[in-house]
Chains A and B, each alone.
Chain A
Amino acid sequence: MTIRPILSALLRNRTGAILVVGQIALTLAIVVNAVFIIQQRLEHIGRPTGMDVNNIVSTRVQGFGDDYDHLATVREDLAMLKSLPGVVSAVASNAIPLSGSGSATGWRDSDGEDPKSASGNYYNVSAEVMETFGFSLYAGRTFTPEEIDSRVVADTPGNYLPKLVMITKELAIELFETPDVVGRMLFDGLGEGTQIIGVIDRMMGSWVGWENVGNVALLPSVSDRPWTRYAIRVEPGKADAMVPVIEKALEDRNITRVVTSTETMESMAKSSYDADKAVAVVLTIVVFLLFIVAGLGIVGLASFTVNQRTKQIGTRRAIGARKRDIITYFMTENWLLTTIGVAIGSILAVALNLWLADAYGLERLNYWYVPAAVAALWILGLVAVAGPARRASKISPAIATRTV
């Protein structure tokens, strides 16, 4: 089988060829970029959190009224929560990781001139923070109940810093270039120091879209402002069932306060990733539809050319071409078109990615996505053209004589 007659036939019917090539090229450009974006979002969503997210319930209590004693309430709430059947441990915290709400501050490695600095979320927490969030320690230890400070703490950092702190490995490495920092001092923006007593393997902060989400510091303190959040670790698999139980138990204490936002940490994390998930889902649907549309397009145009050339096919059959030759002819023709399409499409795909990177700060493509998509489209082309090509091969040689 030589390519030359195929080429000259294609040049005679340029429109059909251009339509197939155009479709393939655009499809490749879209698929490569869409799949790349999907892959990135899935990686983003799937990052390890370092915590037992599935078995934690969180809630917020807000006191009002003159007789409301916040610090006593927190102490009693925690004791009550821990006594509930199904609860493993509980902690008071100003914010909940992965929830989208939280506070951050800048930390420094020294109080001298020209310090190194890094920012990250911080949490004011009570004891049992490790048991509750379920992170593991790289080195050092967690807080004891005696170390929890319940002095007056304003909502702003820089105002008051407990004497001890636990930080994540990621923050340690960014500031000190080593995770082995137990015993060293960490400084805030005012130059106040606090001693690092534990290094956490991994823990994520509040804002999943933030580049510093892995930089977390835990400060052993309970604010005297009349509100707090609780994180409550429950027995495996019981999180959903415990939400109403926990809410009711807190409300039943009948204090002048409201209990709000009781939900599982899993559902909070899920809503934080909503937008990423939506991007992945929408683009997956687009890619899926594209394959169908492009495939059907090839089927349609190939059927059209077969119909147009019925007489010629009949003639070729009459002068000795086998069925196999006809099939090979159409398969080769289509393969040629697909190849031209993917060649143009590869350039388009890379150009589109470079433009997206430039205009919207998207990451540069991993270039192996291009050959992978090329292979997929080659297969799509061959599968799509198989039907029309088989039909062409069934055209009887008699056709050639009939209509001339």
Chain B
Amino acid sequence: MFGYYLRLGIKSISRHPALSFLMMLAVGLGIGVSMTLFSLHYTMSADPIPEKSDQLFAVTLDAWDPEDSYRGNTQGLPPWELTYRDATALLESDIPTRQIAMHKSYFTLNMDASEIKPFMVTTRQTTKDFFEMFNVPFLYGSAWDSATDESLEQVVVLSKATNEKVFGGVDSVGKTIRLNTHDFRVLGVLDTWEPKIKYYDVNNGAIDESEDLFMPFALSAALELPFGGNTNCWKQEEIVGHQGMLNSECIFIQYWAELTSAQQKSEYQAFIDSYANEQKKLGRFERPINNRLDDVVSWIEINEVVPSDLTIMVGLAFLFMAVCLFNAVGLLLARFLAKSPVIALRRAVGASKRAIFSQHLVEVGLIGLGGGLIGIVLAVFGLMGLSTLIEDIDHVARFSWSLGAIAIGLSLGATLLAGLYPTWRICRVQPSSQLKTQ
């Protein structure tokens, strides 16, 4: 029967092409506008590492100003980052399966006798677990080991793009690059790694690209590397030189722990809380104990990676879609009721209400499908428009197959729901009332 209804529906639609197109356009406009904004929202709030996001925890400790919570934030969250001394103390724990302390910095990459003009690179100073923890793929070589984390050996892992720029993409393991005045040996080269959200450090823009190269965390103190990310201080203390910064209450270190079971997590929570209590005895951590372990998804949430502007616009866009649907219902009603005489005839020669209902619902579905397709086209253009409006969002303002499926599903669902009333009206047509006026 479905095939027959489908044929009837297509026939009915092609008999009134203009009106049918108008209905699809009404639905399509609503879908297009809401899917444009929803897609951006969906991509930015999506879990960037679904295979283990519930095992990775951002570690935050509240060692902030006793007089004032961090940036006066209202939810009473601890600061986003740690002090250097707290981070190095936490690294001593053997509870987590993996853990990393890290910060961002920058260098001038300059090669001897080479046509490559010196250029600035962003770097991440991190302990070795970074790559295994965040499932970072390697193209050549590997990460450093725990011995290298201690040895102060000057080694780097290059991003794929950096390797292409400096070594033309060949296997550069074992080669040397010069950063400022230091020589570094290449240990590994990453494969393409483009997390849409830079969830492991959202401080300088949650949709920034990941760093150009990676090196052991211990080199940060040894080479007195500048802190290139976000540095925040609350305490009025004399800070002299690089060592002064490392000893200060300023925060600039990001810290993550991989905890694979609930038991491990509660053990680790107990560990950081007891660390904070220890520090209280030394006159630090004067605020109430407030140390958190946030998994990736809640980290993205509390850092407001999705701007509230966008959420508001998605809401308004869905309201706009409601107006479009009201519109489509009106048009459908007009169209179906205009067909009353034909329906009456069919009812008179034996079609059941059920058959009439199904037949028209299939027709409504076809309109929803058409609207969904128009909506997808509009959303693709809409996202292109958004990327020209806002710099550097190309990689999140992208349409995908799954978003296409959502668009079609939404369009079908909303149109069928809205079409229920007109369809119900039409199967209540009394054969007698219509036939007698002919």
Contact = CB atoms under 8 A, between A and B. Distances in A.
Interface residues of A, number: 59
Nearest to A156: B239
A278 B37 CA distance: 11
B334 A304 contact: yes
A178 interface: no
A232 interface: no
Interface in A294-337: 294, 296-297, 300-301, 303-304, 307-308
A155 B37 CA distance: 40
B320 interface: yes
B29 A293 contact: yes
A366 interface: no
Contacts of A23: 323, 326-327
Contacts of A189: 236
Contact of B240 (A22, A159, A285, A293): A159
Given A289-B29, A293-B29, A297-B330, A278 B390 contact: yes
A293 B324 contact: yes
B95 interface: no
A256, A281, A286, most chain B CB atoms within 10 A: A286
B352 interface: no
Contacts, number: 145
Given A37-B312, A156-B233, A360-B312, A29 B120 contact: no
Given A64-B180, A65-B181, A293-B26, 17 more contacts: A19-B333, A26-B326, A37-B312, A62-B106, A63-B108, A156-B233, A159-B238, A190-B236, A258-B108, A275-B307, A278-B386, A282-B389, A286-B33, A294-B327, A300-B330, A301-B330, A304-B330
Contacts of A16: 330, 333
Given A26-B323, A289-B33, A300 B245 contact: no
A291 to B, nearest CB: 10
Interface residues of B, number: 56
Contact of B327 (A154, A159, A274, A297): A297
A304 B237 CA distance: 77
A290 interface: yes
Contacts of B386: 278, 282
B264 interface: no
21 contacts: A16-B333, A19-B333, A22-B326, A23-B326, A29-B319, A30-B316, A37-B312, A65-B110, A66-B181, A154-B244, A159-B239, A159-B240, A190-B236, A190-B237, A258-B118, A282-B386, A286-B316, A286-B320, A289-B320, A300-B327, A403-B437
A271 B392 CA distance: 10
